[in-house]
Structure 1
């Protein structure tokens, strides 16, 4: 009887909650260092505006990381897609939607190019994506002739700087958007229903549930972050359009990786490619669509970034592939592949965003910021490797 009781519950995997706690701690440290300036409604909104495209890239990059590899070319695809869309809208007067489709098609084309060489010619992903990084950046400079294209019209910029309509009420000496409150309430209900459904499913199939009080603590921490976040947005201009785009992208890819056959195949491949192949998984096909998908999401990130900046320039997206890759590893993805989640990658991107934002507000030089980010990335990977060794 005692054995059954022990099997009924398991302790919460601290690794899954560790980065959320780290995010809160880092934010709290900068709250003290900046005298609370990082917690103002304006700055919370800026965190979304400044890091939205990184979260999109991190979502796609996670799929590459799960296979055990990375994509170095995403920054150049961001720039190339944005440059094409901006030139078509500003110089050729194309409809915005059509220009965006062209940008997405370019990202798709780069993804097909990379995927073909990686999946069907067995060229190492590092080499192929290094080539796309150089080629994409060169094409961007050629296309823009080293000049900036802009300003972009409002219907283009809206995706990067616009907000949903608001319903304002008086609140704490200011105003609060009821739409933000409603979204926070919906997220709360969805989280609770998801947890209840998980418990029901586990009970049905005889799987162990997380110890109730540990699950409650985890959910309370998450919901406090959600409510803090949306209340701050509600005190500013409401919900950014960027946040809607991010929510859709994250939700879709979370579903793909956790609930579909395609998602399970990626994890299987990253865990052991040879075993996955022997089990009947077409690993070439998986490799191909992972890199095609990365190209499409990079183009989408380029659209969002150019919309926020109000134009496109040859240097945009330079080096952001490193932030996307770091977000995945900081969020718990294994360097060897096969381990990681979309939510973890998003949390990792937010950690990077809070670090960037906080260090900038403290007046830290960009050189020193890179040192700190590098140390955080190395620490996350070391923690992952040492944890695995202890388990073995």
Structure 2
């Protein structure tokens, strides 16, 4: 068989095995193009791009944790209530004069403790995650009402708000209305990504693993580069780089690396794919489940801080439907309804698909009632596509 034939087979196999990931990117691009026509290009301007990320950052943070829970075959219905509870406590801590770092640290630690509490019941007491987190949803919503007396907790100054909607620009580095910090960071990120991809490809070739043809590999780098530089240009031409985008980028990088390159990541996929087989092969599935719920709690606490900063106050009713948005982002982003399948990047794209649809309909002055209808239909289609594709491939 010639090299050309091998490349053709490899390309076809690569496309077939990653069809869901490619579909999500194509869907996001198509949605942006359609709304560009319907809104006369308003959805593509720099200000709107920045607002999409700022307004949906807390959902994307929750989705990063939720995908790990759902890969295990579990679900967490409590994240919205946890966001409200932790947000209220962190605001109270901040108002004492403790400072932003202390408030965030307290929020994260409380989130981890809540995740450990729920993870204990799920992992070691063998209770269904649905029931445990449903109880958690009610428990922490009630506690939020108790500690706030059903009254918003105002913040003493705008320092808290800077994390959610402030900009991280290099002081003095501004050319007219252009903030080059975003472009500089975009270049650094792309170069680092390209180097890591090239090193990974060479390692796979050296160890005899299948890799994509060189042409397809270069095309992937070019498309990623266009995406990174395009997004950096949008940020650079409107106020600069949002701090919450940097926070989200760090979280995505850490957990994407963990899921792809660490023992814990492999164990999460193994337990989600077949818990009994994972147990028989020596994996401590209880500890893996417990750890994932701790991670989910940590990210719920962080999301609570971000949302409190975005609203500039801790609202007792905060977090309403956050769990549904995070779960929908996961399903749309390619997570399997039966567990064992899903990626961090996929759910981020899924979350952006939902954000782009909400944003486009808002720009068209379509009411929230119709937005719920559209989101429901998209979620239904995403799960149907998962079930259909698994049945077609003989996996379910």
- 1:282 aligned residue: 284
Residue 169 in structure 1 maps to residue 169 in structure 2:
no
Q: Is contact 2:334-2:342 (8 Å) kept?
A: yes
- 1:343 aligned residue: 345
Cα separation, 2, equivalents of 1:179 and 1:105: 32
- 1:140 aligned residue: 144
- Choose 51-60 or 157-166, whichever is displaced more: 157-166
- Choose 77-86 or 105-114, whichever is displaced more: 105-114
- 1:87 aligned residue: 92
- Choose 223-232 or 313-322, whichever is displaced more: 223-232
Pick closer, same or farther for the CA change 1:4–1:224 going to 2, 3 Å.
closer
Cα separation, 2, equivalents of 1:228 and 1:79: 34
Residue 151 in structure 1 maps to residue 155 in structure 2:
yes
Q: CA deviation at 1:194?
A: 3.0
Alignment of 1:73-112 (within 5 A): 73-90=78-95, 92-112=96-116
Q: CA deviation at 1:351?
A: 0.9
Pick closer, same or farther for the CA change 1:192–1:149 going to 2, 3 Å.
same
Deviation per residue, 1:68-91 (Å, 9 max, x gap): 11100000010000001112223x
Deviation per residue, 1:240-271 (Å, 9 max, x gap): 11011101111110111000000100000010
Cα separation, 2, equivalents of 1:373 and 1:301: 22
Q: Is contact 1:152-1:310 (8 Å) kept?
A: no
Deviation per residue, 1:291-335 (Å, 9 max, x gap): 111111100000011011101111111111011111111111111
Q: Of 43, 58, 61, which aligns to 1:53?
A: 58
Cα separation, 2, equivalents of 1:348 and 1:32: 22
Q: Is contact 2:119-2:293 (8 Å) kept?
A: yes
- 2:6 aligned residue: 6
- 2:135 aligned residue: 131
Q: CA deviation at 1:202?
A: 2.3
- 2:321 aligned residue: 319
Q: Which runs of 5+ in 2 are unaligned?
A: none
Cα separation, 1, equivalents of 2:201 and 2:165: 40
Equivalenced residues, count = 387
- 1:366 aligned residue: 368
Q: CA deviation at 1:205?
A: 1.8
Q: Is contact 2:169-2:179 (8 Å) kept?
A: no
Q: Of 20, 29, 41, which aligns to 1:24?
A: 29
Cα separation, 2, equivalents of 1:259 and 1:246: 20
TM-score of the two chains, using structure 1 as the length reference: 0.94
Cα separation, 2, equivalents of 1:361 and 1:248: 30
- 1:179 aligned residue: 181
Q: CA deviation at 1:2?
A: 3.7
Cα separation, 2, equivalents of 1:152 and 1:82: 15
Cα separation, 2, equivalents of 1:194 and 1:372: 39
Q: Is contact 1:115-1:289 (8 Å) kept?
A: yes
Q: Which runs of 5+ in 1 are unaligned?
A: none
Cα separation, 2, equivalents of 1:271 and 1:44: 37
Cα separation, 1, equivalents of 2:156 and 2:54: 17
- 2:211 aligned residue: 209
